[in-house]
Structure 1
Amino acid sequence: MRRIAILLVTILAAPPLAAPQSEDLNVLTRWIEWADAPARLQLQLSSVAFDLLERRRAEVAQLRTAADWERRRTQVRAALERVLGPFPERTPLRPRVMGTVEGEGFRIERIVFESQPRFYVTGCLFVPVNRQPRAPAILNVIGHTDISFRAPRYQQLILNLVRKGFIVFAVDPAGQGERLQYYDPGTKRSSVGGSTTEHSYFGTQCF
């Protein structure tokens, strides 16, 4: 009896055991996240992207001095080189103005330059007429549409910035606008498809 009494006292005096950690199998509380099965991959990638954008926003909000921005630039460049490989050697751009168009309160300079030797880039430089001697400038790289920055919705964006005093240099990405990489003289169109198809066509050859 004495042994039984000691055992009971020991059990009662011992601290309660922690409940075992179990996997959360309750799917009802998060069912909406899995409701659209065909879009699951897109939703997952979007979630990751938005998380990264939020992290970037928080990091940029901490930048205060020129030295902070220099460190940030070094980090971003290192990340790009890690993902894409080293940047190509800088070579003469050899820019040429092919013509000028006068607009209402701005002018457009049609530019051709070489991003690499004999690899030509076409674009337009939108310059406000009444601007400060040193005006802020934006490099505008438009994606997806076959006519690039000439699409009405992109023109609206560009001209809105120009009217606010910005100089905007809009360039044709490869496969768009005047930069078809697989031009068919017979059809005067791309021989492989639209702009995003051209992107994919020569992009996959890099792997």
Structure 2
Amino acid sequence: MAITPIIKKSLLFFCGMAWYTGNAQNSDDRYAKPLKQVIKEVEQRFHIRIKYADTMIADKQVTYADWRYRQDAETTLEKILSPFDLIAKKESDSVYKLGTFEYHRWKVEDGWAELDRIAGQYNNKTEWETRKADLRSCMIKALQLDLAPIALSKPITTEVRKYDGYTVQNIAIEILPGIYVNGSLYKPAKYKGRIPVILSPDGHWAKQRYRADCQLRCASLAKMGAMAFSFDLFAWGESLLQFKSEDHRRSLSMSFQVLGGIRILDYLLALKDADTTRVGISGGSGGGTHTALLTALDDRIKCSAPVASVSSYFYGGCPCESGMPIHACGGGTDNVEIAAMAAPRPQLVVSDGKDWTDRMPEHDLSYLKKIYSWYDKSESISNVHLKEEGHDFGINKRTAVYEFMAKQLSLDLNLIKNTTGKIDESFVTIEKEPMMYVFGANAERLPANAVKGFENAERLFYQLKRN
């Protein structure tokens, strides 16, 4: 009799079970084995190597260990590790590395299925508008931003520094009494009348707004004719004068960052030279998440360009992106639906081939196009997909943003092109970090009322909530 594939798999399974019977495991002790032993047995059975820190698996027991085996290594490891909130990341065909469970990172097929479920709840513009209004109201409550009106001090500014075609000034804006968000405001060296406003909430790359590529981007947008404001994340940059770096990963940091973006808009749009009808926003990575979120919550933003961020199978890898329960709103939402809340305002989604945006053109983009089509604005949603690039805000991503903002905000792209017609950022002076400080090299300008310590900031936040 020929051995069919099904019979063969069954024989392999029972042979595997028989191999374990020598350990005299049974249901009385729930077939329990030390996780370290189980990992060794998995390695032998599937001819793989599993990397891990001993502290990660110490003293852990796998119940019903023999019964968690499946026909492949990945499914078996998932069954074994999930009770401990551990995962196995595949590094090569035969090497895995243990890590902690990532609630924010889904399998592609799971993310797509969830977006399809979400999309099935509305079928036209009217139903979508109702959904969008419900989501916005819920997200504001989830962020707990129903704060009572408060009087805030005037922004703290530094001297203006003049460069080739643009200027820079550092500004600290009080977002709650004693809590500041710091940034650098780039403006054209010469201009008349009112000019567009562009927010730049940047991501989790090292040095954030002090980085060269961040300076290049904001200086270029300024030379093109806009005022561009690049600002720190909470407990990042100069915010570290008030809080510890680990405070950035507290859930309430998400609320502080959204509030910071709103307060920045309040300040910039009140300037006499700000054109309130031409307001854009563009950030990358975690800044891209906040680009989409701020646009969803604030209609003053007229166009947006989230970079290397929007995905149906990634919810943001930091609590400042997903720490507050906004994704529970409306029976469950995701970052693509949040990005769709920008419709019908123009939006550019920049994706690449080496992070969680790698499949944007295959599925998520069609959903966004459908939403925009209900407004007869299909041309207002666009995607630049850089298949060979990775998770950064490199020149090709910046170029896509320049071209988009030039079109949407009537900026002069030619002002940053060379004689061959290519984007040329060589005019930008890359400043050293201390030049970008608002509060001075030794924090000598930090206000006396500055709140220090997360617990004090948290206490203040909840004291200011509406009753």
What band does the TM-score fall into relative to the shorter chain? 0.5 to 0.7
In the aligned structure 1, how far is the partner of 2:212 from the partner of 2:189? 22
2:138 aligns with one of 66, 79, 85: 79
Contact 1:110–1:125 under 8 Å retained in 2: yes
Equivalent residues in 2 for 1:95-134 (5 A)?
95-131=155-191, 133-134=193-194
Aligned residues of 2:189 and 2:223 also touching (Cα < 8 A)? no
Q: Which residue of 2 aligns with 1:200?
A: 249
For residues 43-62 of structure 1, what are the structure 2 equivalents within 5 Å? 45-47=104-106, 51=111
The answer on whether the counterparts of 2:162 and 2:189 sit within 8 Å (CA) in structure 1 is no
1:45 and 1:171, CA in 2 relative to 1: closer, same or farther beyond 3 A?
closer
- Residues 160 and 87 (structure 1), Cα distance of their counterparts in 2 relative to 1, 3 Å cut: farther
Partners of 1:159 and 1:147 lie apart in 2 by 17
Structure 2 partner of 1:148? 208
Query: How do residues 60-71 of structure 1 correspond to structure 2 at under 5 angstroms?
Result: none
8 A contact 1:91–1:115 mirrored in 2:
no
1:134 Cα deviation after fit: 2.5
Partner residue, 1:88: 147
- Aligned AA (2:247): E
Change in Cα spacing, 1:168 to 1:87, as seen in structure 2 (3 Å) is farther
Amino acid at match of 1:150: Y
- Report if the CA contact (8 A) 1:148-1:172 is conserved: yes
1:96 corresponds to which letter in structure 2? Answer: I
The alpha-carbon deviation at position 199 of structure 1 amounts to 0.6
SS in 2 for 1:81: helix
Q: Which has the larger radius of gyration?
A: 1
Q: Given that residues 171 and 185 in structure 2 are in contact (C-alpha distance below 8 angstroms), is that contact kept between their aligned partners in structure 1?
A: yes
Amino acid aligned to 1:121: V
Instruction: Indicate how the Cα distance of structure 1 residues 160 and 40 shifts in structure 2: closer, same or farther if over 3 A, else same.
Output: farther
What is the letter of the counterpart of residue 98 of structure 1? T
Alignment of 1:21-32 (within 5 A): none
C-alpha displacement at 1:105, in angstroms?
Answer: 0.6
Question: What is the alpha-carbon distance in structure 1 between the residues aligned to residue 98 and residue 158 of structure 2?
Answer: 48
TM-score, normalised to structure 1's length?
A: 0.55
Give the Cα–Cα distance (whole angstroms) in 2 for the partners of residues 181 and 105 of structure 1: 32
C-alpha distance in 1 between matches for 2:206 and 2:247? 10
Q: In 1, are the aligned partners of 2:163 and 2:189 still within 8 Å (CA)?
A: no
Q: Secondary structure at the match of 1:88?
A: coil
Paired residue for 1:172?
A: 232
Whether contact under 8 Å (1:142, 1:173) holds in the other structure is yes
What's the CA shift for 1:146? 5.7
Against the structure 1 CA distance between its residues 63 and 157, is the aligned structure 2 distance closer, same or farther, given a 3 Å change threshold? farther
How far residue 95 of structure 1 moved from its aligned partner, in angstroms, is: 1.7
RMSD: 4.6
% of aligned pairs identical? 21
Residues 98-148 of structure 1, C-alpha deviation per residue, up to 9 Å, x if partnerless?
Answer: 221112111112212211122222211111124462322122222325633
- Relative distance call for 1:120 and 1:40 in structure 2 (3 A) is closer
Provide structure 2 residue ranges, at least 5 long, that are not aligned to the other structure: 1-70, 79-87, 90-96, 254-453, 459-467
2:198–2:229: 8 Å Cα contact kept in structure 1?
A: yes
Assess if the C-alpha contact under 8 Å between 1:181 and 1:198 holds in 2. no
Q: Which has the higher contact order (CA 8 A, sep 6+)?
A: 2
TM-score of the aligned structures, taking structure 2 as reference length = 0.28
1:118 aligned partner, one-letter code: G
Q: CA distance change for structure 1 residues 148 and 114 in 2, over 3 Å: closer, same or farther?
A: same
Q: 1:90 to 1:158 in 2, by over 3 A?
A: farther
CA distances 1:20-51 after superposition (whole Å, capped 9, x unpaired): xxxxxxx89x98xx894857955x74447995
The count of residues paired between Structure 1 and Structure 2 equals: 165
Kept in 2, the 8 Å contact 1:145–1:176? The answer is no
The 1:182–1:137 alpha-carbon spacing in structure 2 relative to 1, beyond 3 Å, is: closer
CA contact (8 A) 2:165 2:189 kept: yes
